Homo-oligomer: A and B are copies of this chain.
Amino acid sequence: MSVLVVGSVAFDSIETPFGARREVVGGAATYFALAASCFAKVQVVGAVGEDFGPEHRAVLERRGIDLLGLERLAGRTFRWSGRYSYDLNSRETLDTQLGVFEKFDPRIPQPYREPRFLFLGNIDPVLQLSVLQQVKRPELVGCDTMNFWIEGKLEALKRTLAAVDMLVINDSEARELAREPNLVKAAAVIRALGPSTLIVKRGEFGAAAFGGAHPFAVPALLLDSVSDPTGAGDSFAGGLMGYLASRASDGPVDEAMLRRAIAMGSVLASFTVQSFGVEGLLDLTRERIDERYEEFRRLSHFHDA
């Protein structure tokens, strides 16, 4: 089963206390697609500039990712550069150049118009809705957003949320969207806006999910070396959606399946942060993923008192 993702493809320049990379292939859709590709076929809808050459496309194509929907427009590819603090818990954006991304108006190619799994990356909610209008209603629609849209396009965002099944956002953004500091109450507010499932990303503290009969929460894997947190959240979402797509033949997504998918998302994010940029995702095998999944279960399980 395949996953369709719509979002940014970019050149990132990253500085952390452990090193730096200049203009490497990044962007939310890139991390998502590479992580999801460990489990399922992935189709990408995005826009790049004339400076995005075959060597850049190859980063994704080598993992079997379908780039039919990656438009090449006149101009330059979206560029982001940022620097992380000594403990990696905060970052400063040094420069953002939207380039062709400013004019991005996603067009879904004919062969992509009946996706069973669709993920609307963190772009203008008006564009997210436009994507939904171009496809047959998928089995599962996931969606990301951020404070910029919560603060600047709340009404459009609410229209998008009314049409999706699952929102995957950061802890602080969930509280901001709901205007409610308590996460459990915030989850109820957000689910009333549309998405039956809310998944909350908590960075180095893991993730939480609301939607089944019982809430779910996991810590993050404890890693003795973290090089670069860029793309962790997008890798998490990609691992999660990719895993769900790979299990689609098992029937509708139930609570146990969603929990396993969140754990898989956590595993994929852990590989991302151990290396720079997307490097940690490029050579992943299912065997290494499954090993780390077992490590994650060992990390967090306890038994009868």
Chain A residues with a Cβ under 8 A of chain B: 86-88, 175, 181-185, 202, 205-206, 208, 214-220, 222-226, 243, 256, 259-260, 262-264, 290, 293, 295, 297-305
Contacts and interface: CB of A to CB of B under 8 A. Distances in A.
A184 B299 CA distance: 13
Contacts of A303: 256, 259-260, 297
16 contacts: A87-B181, A182-B225, A184-B224, A185-B224, A205-B205, A205-B219, A206-B206, A214-B299, A217-B220, A217-B299, A218-B219, A243-B305, A259-B303, A260-B305, A264-B305, A300-B300
Given A206-B206, A259-B301, 5 more contacts: A206-B219, A214-B299, A256-B303, A260-B305, A300-B301
Contacts of A217: 206, 219-220, 222, 299-300
Nearest to A256: B303
A182 B86 CA distance: 10
Nearest to A213: B298
B208 A302 contact: no
Contacts of A262: 302
A86 B215 CA distance: 24
Contact of A88 (B181, B223, B225): B181
A87 B219 CA distance: 21
Contacts of A86: 181
B222 A215 contact: yes
Contacts of A216: 299-300, 302
Given A185-B224, A205-B202, A222-B208, A214 B305 contact: no
A290 B302 contact: no
A88 B216 CA distance: 22
Nearest to A87: B181
Contacts of A184: 222-224
A295 B215 CA distance: 10
A238 to B, nearest CB: 16
Nearest to A216: B299
Contacts of A297: 302-303
